Amino acid sequence: MVSELMTEYGNNRCLIREISEICNKKAAEIGRENLCDFSIGNPSVPSPLAVREAMLDILTNENPLNIHSYTSAPGMMETRDAIAENLNKRFGTSYTGKNLYITSGASTSLVCAIKAVLKDADSEIIGIAPYFAEYKAFTEGNGGRFKLVPADTEKFQINFDALEALITEKTQGVIINSPNNPSGVIYSAETLRKLSALLKEKSCEYGHIIYLISDEPYRELVYGDEPLPFTAKFYNNTIVCYSYSKSFSLPGERIGYVLVPGEADNWEEVYSAVAGGARASGFICAPSLMQKVIARCADIEPDISVYRKNRDFLYKSLTEIGYECAEPAGAFYLFVKAPNGDATPFCMKAMEDNLFIVPGSEFGCPTHFRAAYCVDYEMIERSIPLFKKAFEEATK
Ligand code: PLP
């Protein structure tokens, strides 16, 4: 016999990937130019030139034994220092490389952080809908319990009454994600202040720290003029999980980090627990070539103009048709209310017309659907009549 839970996770794959695969099959039959695929968050902008040049230069000019050998488990110190300096310049913090643990992307970072804070089989982690559904698997797969705060479908900030009601003496952590997948919404400074006050109050009440796990793979994809509020500055006991998958368009290269700020209570112990989480999961030594690339490129800013143009056009076109949509301020997703209020049948019907979008049930918010606009502009243009037809059929 093998683990029932793992078998279940293995068999019930993530719906986004299912839809993406159905779409790929259909593309093989009828040609990709005849369908509109908004299913998956794969960056459509090539990684920055400086990143690709760094890879080539390292591969051409450095000793291959050094490039491809094991690094220390938490990552190369020059990489960790370069990231710390970049964060300090941008957010006025005073981190050093010792606050950073290099990982193979945000998924790995999240598993390390979750493992670090779970104390026993009763420990609970709370997520906020709409949310990245893997949080549940990452928590339960590591022996914890997962609870979900229902979405604030007005503004897609945090439903604080529901969050407060879910926090108990078993709560070890709350996971947030801003800019958010799937809503594209950014949590405001006011939301983060309120969250910080609540977590401080509840940590006091229950006599132990409730950690804030801040999942930030879209941190650099922000379209407004206002800088993104940096979560760790609002709450000391924050563990930041980052990835270069989206900002540097490197999802297949697997590189990211966990940041344990020096302001966290007993931060060195928390850092050790993160390192232990990595070790116990077999996640030591992130890809060494990528570590070297990040050491050189930590200050590179991604060009988000393509995503901004896609966002502006898709948002304008869909709202003109009559769709209601959360304000898309960051990441590369639109989260749109299904006209008939139930996104699953709406998405299934759209799929018959070769429009591939993801039902919000996947993100704990079944009234909405997600359209990933990290795609070709030309495809968005082609998709508008399909969105119009779907809207008209659902509202007639
Ligand atoms: N967190 C969120 C919110 C995501 O959207 C994703 C990927 O889409 C991840 C984490 C995982 O990112 P990574 O590819 O770095 O593991």
Q: Is the CB of 132 under 6 A from ligand 1?
A: yes
Arithmetic mean of pLDDT, 48-68: 97
Give pLDDT, residue 310: 98
388 or 341, higher pLDDT: 388
Arithmetic mean of pLDDT, 259-286: 97
Phi, psi for residue 370 in degrees, rounded to 5: -105, 135
* pLDDT tier, 326 (very low <50, low <70, confident <90, very high otherwise): confident
β-sheet with 256-259: strand ranges across:
100-103, 256-259, 238-243, 211-215, 171-177, 124-128, 145-149
User: pLDDT tens-digit profile of 237-257?
Assistant: 999 999 999 999 999 999 999
User: pLDDT tens-digit profile of 171-213?
Assistant: 999 999 999 999 999 999 999 999 999 999 999 999 999 999 9
Percent of the chain with pLDDT over 70: 100
Arithmetic mean of pLDDT, 212-221: 98
Cβ atoms of 377 and 344 closer than 8 Å: no
Give pLDDT, residue 227: 87
Taking the CA atoms of residue 138, residue 142, residue 148 and residue 151 in that order, the dihedral angle to the nearest 10 degrees is -10
* pLDDT tier, 15 (very low <50, low <70, confident <90, very high otherwise): confident
- The whole-angstrom separation of Cα 189 and Cα 199 is 15
pLDDT above 80 for 221: yes
- The whole-angstrom separation of Cα 178 and Cα 186 is 5
Q: Is the CB of 363 under 6 A from ligand 1?
A: no
Using most ligand atoms within 8 A of CB, pick from 20, 107, 110, 220 the residue to mutate for ligand 1: 107
What's the 319 CA to ligand 1 centre distance in angstroms? 27
* pLDDT tier, 60 (very low <50, low <70, confident <90, very high otherwise): very high
* pLDDT tier, 215 (very low <50, low <70, confident <90, very high otherwise): very high
Using most ligand atoms within 8 A of CB, pick from 246, 248, 332 the residue to mutate for ligand 1: 246
Give pLDDT, residue 144: 98
Closest CA to 228 of 213, 207, 211, 214: 214
Arithmetic mean of pLDDT, 20-44: 94
Task: Write out the E strands in 84-237.
Answer: 100-103, 124-128, 145-149, 171-177, 211-215
383 torsion bin: left (phi>0), alpha (psi -120 to 50), beta (else): alpha
User: pLDDT tens-digit profile of 107-133?
Assistant: 999 999 999 999 999 999 999 999 999
Kindly report the number of other CB atoms within 10 A of residue 325's CB atom. 17
Q: Is the CB of 243 under 6 A from ligand 1?
A: yes
CA angle 374, 376, 377 (to 5 degrees): 105
Q: For the full predicted model, state whether its pTM sits above 0.75.
A: yes
Q: Cis peptide leading into 182, omega within 30 of 0? A: yes
Closest approach atom of ligand 1 to CA 243: 15
Arithmetic mean of pLDDT, 309-331: 96
Give pLDDT, residue 31: 94
What's the 217 CA to ligand 1 centre distance in angstroms? 6
Give pLDDT, residue 13: 76
* pLDDT tier, 17 (very low <50, low <70, confident <90, very high otherwise): confident
